[in-house]
């Protein structure tokens, strides 16, 4: 496991650490971070995903059983978190963010980086294609959770409802989902990319994951960590351990080919995404819990990913 950590995990987290240092040394500022986020999210990552998926074999990279296992595991983890939240005496905003953090993983930046650098090109296209289903499900469930708890009702300053129509529109126009779906069309129809286009996309793709990892580092915040540690530990167990283990059991039960196991596990073991903080801020959730859980569990995921990659699944 130590060799896996040093070879595959440490290089990834060293770039995250660099982003954290550069941010707190004021080497980069908020204006750069905002622009870089847009560049990564709307240009670099979609270009990388389209390129990898479009030039891969659809039949080799898609498996219905793998998708169903992910979605079933996602539903079970969310139901468990909802039950725990209902039994808790915590305020409604806290409950909503707690449940949201247990299932909404950082696929676009963290999971893609681990899959790309640990598994290589062959399995990255598989990871990208399968991730589109999980991204859609995560966003849909997030809206459902906030609609169920309605944390905005607890604060006059917070929004009082969830815009379902707007959320569906955002999901359908999500650049990551769009790029994967278009790439899937090219792959399914066996449409070849012109060498010039392929080379351009390859060059553009080169900046996607390094810049994404730097941006993860700039978003880390540990100010409210102490008082929230017990809750974050529960989120970590559900998100980083039980979710991937449960999905693995479902894949074994459903006889999903072994070649799909690791890409699916990397996706399901991703730490909470930055969007948990954004949604907590916009919809009346607990921003302190979202920020602290995302930051700490991003670091903890280095160890869980090392274990994940060391086990012969």
Angle between helix axes 64-87 and 121-149 (nearest 10 degrees) is 30
Q: Which domain holds residue 232?
A: 57-191+220-310
pLDDT of residue 157: 44
Residue with tokens 């079933």: 72
| Domain assignment present for 66 | yes
| Domain assignment present for 199 | no
- pLDDT tens digits along 241-282: 999 999 999 999 999 999 999 999 999 999 999 889 988 988
Q: Distance (Å, rounded) from C-alpha 43 to C-alpha 34?
A: 14
The pTM (predicted TM-score) of the whole model is: 0.88
Pick out the chain residues at pLDDT < 50. 154-160
pLDDT of residue 295: 95
| Domain assignment present for 5 | no
Q: How many CA within 13 A on the CB side of residue 46?
A: 15
| Domain assignment present for 174 | yes
pLDDT of residue 120: 86
| Domain assignment present for 28 | no
Q: What's the longest Cα–Cα distance across the chain?
A: 59
- pLDDT tens digits along 63-112: 999 999 999 999 999 999 999 999 999 999 999 999 999 999 999 899 99
| Domain assignment present for 200 | no
Residue 193, burial from CB neighbour count under 10 angstroms (0-12, 13-18, 19+): middle
CA distance between the termini of the chain = 14
| Domain assignment present for 8 | no
pLDDT of residue 161: 52
| Domain assignment present for 110 | yes
- Token output for 154: 């607890």
pLDDT of residue 302: 95
pLDDT of residue 169: 76
Domain count across the chain: 1
Q: Distance (Å, rounded) from C-alpha 54 to C-alpha 303?
A: 32
H/E element, 97: helix 92-103
């Amino acid at each position: 496991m130590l060799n896996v950590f040093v070879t595959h995990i440490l290089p990834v987290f060293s770039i995250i650490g660099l982003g954290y240092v550069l941010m707190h040394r004021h080497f980069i500022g908020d204006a750069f971070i905002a622009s870089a986020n847009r560049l990564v999210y709307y240009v670099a990552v979609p270009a990388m995903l389209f390129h990898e998926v479009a030039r891969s074999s659809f039949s080799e990279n898609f498996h219905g059983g793998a998708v169903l296992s992910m979605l079933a595991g996602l539903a079970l983890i969310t139901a468990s978190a909802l039950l725990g939240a209902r039994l808790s005496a915590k305020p409604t905003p806290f409950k909503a963010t707690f449940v949201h953090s247990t299932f909404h993983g950082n696929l676009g930046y963290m999971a893609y980086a681990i899959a790309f650098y640990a598994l290589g090109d062959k399995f990255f296209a598989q990871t990208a294609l399968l991730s589109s289903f999980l991204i859609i499900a995560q966003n849909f469930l997030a809206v459902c959770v906030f609609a169920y708890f309605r944390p905005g009702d607890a604060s006059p300053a917070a929004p009082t409802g969830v815009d379902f129509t707007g959320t569906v529109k955002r999901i359908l126009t999500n650049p990551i989902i769009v790029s994967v779906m278009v790439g899937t069309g090219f792959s399914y129809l066996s449409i070849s990319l012109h060498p010039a286009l392929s080379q351009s996309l390859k060059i553009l793709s080169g900046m996607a994951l390094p810049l994404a990892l730097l941006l993860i580092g700039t978003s880390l915040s540990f100010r409210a960590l102490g008082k929230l540690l017990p809750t974050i530990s529960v989120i970590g167990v559900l998100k980083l351990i039980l979710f991937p283990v449960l999905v693995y059991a479902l894949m074994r039960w459903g006889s999903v080919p072994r070649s799909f196991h690791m890409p699916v596990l990397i996706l399901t073991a991703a730490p909470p995404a930055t969007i948990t903080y954004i949604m907590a801020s916009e919809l009346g959730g607990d921003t302190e819990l979202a920020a602290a859980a995302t930051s700490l569990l991003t670091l903890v995921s280095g160890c869980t990913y090392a274990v994940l990659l060391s086990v012969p699944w």
